[in-house]
Chains A and B, each alone.
Chain A
Amino acid sequence: MATQTPQVMDAEEIRRALTRIAHEIIERNKGAEKLGIIGIRRKGVPLAKRLAKLLNEIEHVRVPVGILDIGLYRDDILTHQPTVGQTDIPFDINDRTIILVDEVIYTGRTVRCALDALMDIGRPAAIQLAVLIDRGHRELPIRPDYVGKNIPTSRKELVDVQLKEIEGEDKVYIRKLDE
């Protein structure tokens, strides 16, 4: 259980953050050719689709979007059994620069799983990481390339990203985990 506290991002802030990330992706990669966007299931997926739409609007390039499920790559399967969803990457990731998208980066273990999963699927030219929220507390040497917002948190808190594609509205809360 967790107690909700005031929101730290509203819909407009989320939209601006994603727009800025889209511009940063284009600047860093000198355009959007040879890019592929892959969202980590579950909430990385709608964010990946939004980023692809923004890239199309800015650069007039249709960037392919895929879905990556990392359930089978977790290192805590024996204590937590994540629901296994489908991985669906309808394009060849070989020799493409992949923008990996998730809503929150915390310990870095989810991203580590995603990197392992991607390497099993193919050999991208490069992988870059985009997250809406970086909440700190990394346990692995993983750093995102694009961050919507850095939010310092304690380990007794939970960052709750709500997206209109799933919850019906865009907002980010910090919740206190009940003792």
Chain B
Amino acid sequence: MALKRKDILGLEEITREEIELILQTALSMKEILSRPIKKVPALRGRSIVTLFYEPSTRTRTSFEIAAKIMSADTSSIAPSTSSVVKGESLKDTILTLRAMRPDVFVIRHQASGAPHFVASLIPESVINAGDGMHEHPTQGLLDMMTILEKKGKLEGLTVAIVGDILHSRVARSNMWGLTKMGAKVRFVGPKTLIPPEADRLPVEVYTNIEEGLKDVDVINVLRIQLERMKKGLFPSLREYTHFFGITKKRLKLAKDDVIVLHPGPMNRGVEIMPDVADCEISMVTTQVTNGVAVRMALLYLLLGGTGDALAS
């Protein structure tokens, strides 16, 4: 089976079969990361542009490393040092870059839907690296890969996503991906940080952490953005930590073999305690490694042809 789409814009529109293909390919790609020579010639001569309108360490680096391992060339555009500061629109920036003949655009933008707009403009592939509060599909895929590796399955698991769900594109991508794969998803957080449309989404909502963590297989902890406190969505960081911080004691509410995920960067001592972040069930660094494998898989599947070659 081949990926039948030009772009990866979100997990809401992707099929279960496509997710399975991506995860299976990513699991195969991961072996390359353990080799002494981390280089395969698969995408030699292909060109990838990363265009990040928001700060990023791990996602941008992960895409660049993934592309380089696959022998593709990468160009990183930072809007702060580009013609964007002179007032160039997103459309003109894309059309200018497109004239340089890249094969894939990887875009992060503060506006939800920006990658979709770009994908509608050009025939080249577009990968959404995070758009506003909408989706972050590659994070969702790497989270699913991490769970699949540790648990051996996704079907039937219960995953609690804890924290600022309202503003989280990671939570939305996780929700769409995990529920498609047969997992149950819980949103756990203060009422002010739960999306108002949550009752129309395929999730269970918990505003009490003890109830929300009961018997879950996976806890996915979201970063609390400090500016949310200033907007009055919760009174103080201390209070948030008291009611929703993931502590060793609270882990006991979940299943014995629970694992903890965090998309990073972590606020240690706020949404996750340092002893949880650093314990053996914390998957934070595994997630980062799996992020490279997932992005290698996506670049390969988007840039490859279709059909199986005859044995030669």
Partner pick for B39 among A87, A107, A120, CB 8 A cutoff: A120
Q: In whole angstroms, what is the CA distance A110 to B312 when docked?
A: 6
Q: In whole angstroms, what is the CA distance A12 to B111 when docked?
A: 66
Q: In whole angstroms, what is the CA distance A73 to B70 when docked?
A: 10
Partner pick for A78 among B25, B41, B304, CB 8 A cutoff: B304
Would you call B36 and A110 a contact (CB within 8 A)?
no
CB-defined contacts of A103 to chain B, threshold 8 Å: 311
Is A84 an interface residue when CB atoms closer than 8 A count as contact? yes
How close is B225's CB to chain A, nearest CB, in angstroms? 37
Would you call A82 and B308 a contact (CB within 8 A)?
yes
Partner pick for B305 among A77, A110, A116, CB 8 A cutoff: A77
CB-defined contacts of A122 to chain B, threshold 8 Å: 36
Is B200 an interface residue when CB atoms closer than 8 A count as contact? no
- How many A-B pairs fall under 8 Å by CB? 77
Is A45 an interface residue when CB atoms closer than 8 A count as contact? no
Q: Given contacts A72-B70, A106-B312, A120-B35, is CB(A81)–CB(B304) below 8 Å?
A: yes
Of the candidates A85, A86, A106, the one having the most CB atoms from chain B within 10 angstroms of its own CB is A86
Chain A residues proximal to chain B, CB less than 8 Å: 69, 71-74, 76-88, 103-104, 106-110, 116-117, 120-122, 158
CB-defined contacts of B305 to chain A, threshold 8 Å: 76-81
Q: Given contacts A73-B42, A84-B25, is CB(A110)–CB(B304) below 8 Å?
A: no
Q: Which of B26-34, B91-99, B275-283 contacts A (4 or more CB under 8 A)?
A: B26-34
CB closest chain-A residue, reference B301: A81
Q: In whole angstroms, what is the CA distance A69 to B35 when docked?
A: 14
Is B176 an interface residue when CB atoms closer than 8 A count as contact? no
Could you pull out 5 A-B pairs where Cβ atoms are within 8 angstroms? Answer: A72-B41, A77-B300, A84-B29, A87-B31, A109-B312
CB closest chain-B residue, reference A41: B28
Would you call B28 and A120 a contact (CB within 8 A)?
no
Is B85 an interface residue when CB atoms closer than 8 A count as contact? no
CB-defined contacts of A86 to chain B, threshold 8 Å: 27-28, 31
Q: In whole angstroms, what is the CA distance A78 to B40 when docked?
A: 15
Q: In whole angstroms, what is the CA distance A85 to B27 when docked?
A: 8
CB closest chain-A residue, reference B309: A80
CB closest chain-B residue, reference A83: B308
Would you call B311 and A106 a contact (CB within 8 A)?
yes
How close is A80's CB to chain B, nearest CB, in angstroms? 3
* Number of chain B interface residues as a range: 20 to 34
Q: In whole angstroms, what is the CA distance A8 to B39 when docked?
A: 40
Is B122 an interface residue when CB atoms closer than 8 A count as contact? no
Q: Which of B3-40 contact A (CB under 8 A)?
A: 25, 27-29, 31-32, 35-37, 39-40
How close is B27's CB to chain A, nearest CB, in angstroms? 7
CB-defined contacts of A69 to chain B, threshold 8 Å: 28
How close is B79's CB to chain A, nearest CB, in angstroms? 31
Of the candidates B28, B32, B301, B306, the one having the most CB atoms from chain A within 10 angstroms of its own CB is B28
Is B307 an interface residue when CB atoms closer than 8 A count as contact? yes
Q: In whole angstroms, what is the CA distance A78 to B1 when docked?
A: 15
| Binary contact track B268-312/A, C-beta < 8 Å → 1, others 0 | 000000000000000000000000000001001101111111111
Would you call A81 and B28 a contact (CB within 8 A)?
no
CB-defined contacts of A110 to chain B, threshold 8 Å: 311-312
CB-defined contacts of A85 to chain B, threshold 8 Å: 28
Partner pick for A80 among B29, B35, B43, B308, CB 8 A cutoff: B308
Q: In whole angstroms, what is the CA distance A84 to B29 when docked?
A: 8
CB-defined contacts of A74 to chain B, threshold 8 Å: 42, 309
Q: In whole angstroms, what is the CA distance A104 to B312 when docked?
A: 8
How close is A30's CB to chain B, nearest CB, in angstroms? 29
CB closest chain-A residue, reference B45: A78
How close is A38's CB to chain B, nearest CB, in angstroms? 14
How close is A163's CB to chain B, nearest CB, in angstroms? 13
Is B84 an interface residue when CB atoms closer than 8 A count as contact? no
CB-defined contacts of B39 to chain A, threshold 8 Å: 120
CB closest chain-B residue, reference A85: B28
Would you call A72 and B301 a contact (CB within 8 A)?
no
CB-defined contacts of B29 to chain A, threshold 8 Å: 84
CB-defined contacts of B31 to chain A, threshold 8 Å: 86-88
CB closest chain-B residue, reference A105: B312
Q: In whole angstroms, what is the CA distance A43 to B291 when docked?
A: 31
